[in-house]
A and B are shown apart, each in its own frame.
Chain A
Amino acid sequence: MSVALFAALLYLGVALQYAADPTSALGALASRRPPRSVGGAILLMLTVAAFALWHQREPGPAALLMVIAGLAAFGTVFALVAPVLPRLTWGLAGLSLVAIPILLSLGAWP
Chain B
Amino acid sequence: MHTWAGVITSLIVYVMFALGSVVLFYDPLTVWEEPLLQAPAPALASLDAPLALVESLPEDFYYYLPHDGFGPPKIGYFLPGTSDWRKWWLDVEHGRLVPQRELAAGYLYDLHYLWYNATGYWLQYGAGVLVFGFLSAIVTGVLIHLASLLRQLNRFRPERGARAVWSDLHKVAGVFGLPFQLVYALTGTLMALSPLLFQLSLGPVFGGDVARAMEVAGPLIDDPPPLDYGAIVTPISFERAAASARAAEPRLMIESFVARGYPRERGSIDVRGMLAGEPFGDALVRVRLRDGVVQEVSTPDRERSVGAVARFIHGLHTVEYGGMPARVLMLLLALGTCATIVTGNLIWLERRRREQTGLGHLLLARLTSGVGAGTPVAVAALLLASRLSPLDAPTHMRDELLAMLVAFAASIAVALSTRHTGRTWAGLLGCAALLLAALPLVATSHSQAGLLGGGPTIETVRAVECGFLCASALLLVSALGIGIAARKAAQR
Residues of chain A whose beta carbon lies under 8 Å from any beta carbon of chain B = 3, 6-7, 18, 22-27, 30, 54, 58-62, 65-66, 68-70, 72-73, 75-77, 79-80, 83-84
Contacts and interface: CB of A to CB of B under 8 A. Distances in A.
Interface of B: 150-151, 153-154, 156-158, 169, 172-173, 176-180, 277-280, 316, 321-322, 325-326, 329-330, 332-333, 336
B470 to A, nearest CB: 15
B153 A79 contact: yes
Given A23-B154, A66-B322, A69-B326, 17 more contacts: A6-B325, A27-B150, A60-B278, A62-B280, A62-B321, A65-B322, A65-B326, A66-B326, A69-B329, A69-B330, A72-B179, A72-B329, A73-B336, A76-B333, A77-B332, A79-B156, A80-B156
B153 to A, nearest CB: 6
A94 B105 CA distance: 38
Contacts of A61: 279, 321
Residue from B154, B180, B277, B330 having most chain A Cβ neighbours under 10 A:
B154
A68 B153 contact: no
Contact of B322 (A62, A72, A76): A62
Q: Which of A22, A24, A58, A77 has the most CB of B within 10 A?
A: A58
Contact of B158 (A6, A22, A83): A83
A22 B179 contact: no
Contact of B154 (A54, A65, A73, A79): A79
B279 A7 contact: no
Tell me if B's interface is mostly helix, strand, loop or mixed: helix
A3 B279 contact: no
A85 to B, nearest CB: 10
Contacts of B333: 69, 72-73, 76
A79 B158 CA distance: 11
B310 to A, nearest CB: 16
Nearest to A65: B321
Contact of A3 (B150, B173, B316, B325): B325
